[in-house]
Chains A and B, each alone.
Chain A
Amino acid sequence: MQTTMAAQSNQQTEVAQRFAKLDEPMNAEKYNFEYFRAKHFLEDVKRTMAAEGIRPGQPAPDFELPLVGGGRL
């Protein structure tokens, strides 16, 4: 219950807004793959070469997630 509430609050954060603007956001099933395949390794290499993520100097988007032991951060 607490986890669900925290996930819901994360939906209002900058991270959620940026997620909505991603070109190809993954759904939960694709994101949590069952088998690690060569395509996952190659995606890691590709993301590394492109330095995907938040660029240095940019504001780190806020997020709010459940904390182990209770509460949110």
Chain B
Amino acid sequence: MTNGSVEPLHKLHQRWGAQVQFVDVIVRQAHPGPGMREYRSEAEKMRDAEKYQRENHISWPVLVDDLRGTTHQVYGMLADPIYLIDADGRVAFYNLWAHAPTLHVAITALLQRGGRGVVNGGTDRMMHMAAALTDGWKGLRKGLWQSLTDIETAAPGLGVGAWLEHQIRPLLAPITLRAEPLPPAAKAGLTVGALALAACTVWWLRREPRRPAWQRALRAAWH
């Protein structure tokens, strides 16, 4: 999982840990760099997994995939997926990009139907990036500068976006690192806020710029 998923999953675990068995599988370095090189041995991978569990206070089991990622490759090889497995060992819900609020709704639905069957359409394909951007800088920072330049080259804006969001983390975290869906009133408030921000931006871009006196005189003389 990415760094952005740690806090939301802690919250989910607090809510559902007594009813749902959480399991983490360590796969590969998504953004290698000098401070977190790509794995070259299973022992190295195990050491990193131990560090990950210790530093993030993970209380659920952490497993380590083999070096070629056999389990990861069979399970789709996405960067940050979560599978919700039902009581019969079947996939009840596949969250392709970890999103705790979506998973919270899926777990609720699964438990309501006795822990069996496919819930909420079975799949969420949306590339949820908000949590990864808010807390992703922790990972990129370890691999500086390579990790940052690599991600900026591959997907411009993501690396710098992670840094920017890290700077205003206290403001964003209650929204982006939440574990449950926002209440309707909060969604409406955020929508109104976003529309107001967009309207202000358009107004600012379209306003007549304030020119220096010599430019105004020149324009008056010209006309």
Contacts and interface: CB of A to CB of B under 8 A. Distances in A.
A49 B147 CA distance: 25
A67 B62 contact: yes
The DSSP consensus for interface residues of chain A is loop
B68 A54 contact: no
B75 interface: yes
Contact-residue bracket for chain B? 35 or more
A10 to B, nearest CB: 6
B125 A48 contact: yes
A63 to B, nearest CB: 5
A27 B70 CA distance: 9
A55 B76 CA distance: 10
A68 B64 contact: yes
B96 A36 contact: no
Contact of B91 (A19, A25, A60, A69): A60
A26 B69 contact: yes
Contacts of B28: 31-33
Contacts of A55: 91, 94, 122-123
Interface string A20-53: 0010011110011111111011001101110111
Nearest to A58: B91
Given A38-B155, A44-B79, A65-B65, A33 B89 contact: no
A55 B89 CA distance: 13
15 contacts: A7-B66, A10-B70, A18-B74, A27-B68, A28-B67, A32-B29, A32-B38, A36-B147, A37-B153, A41-B155, A52-B77, A56-B94, A56-B121, A56-B123, A57-B118
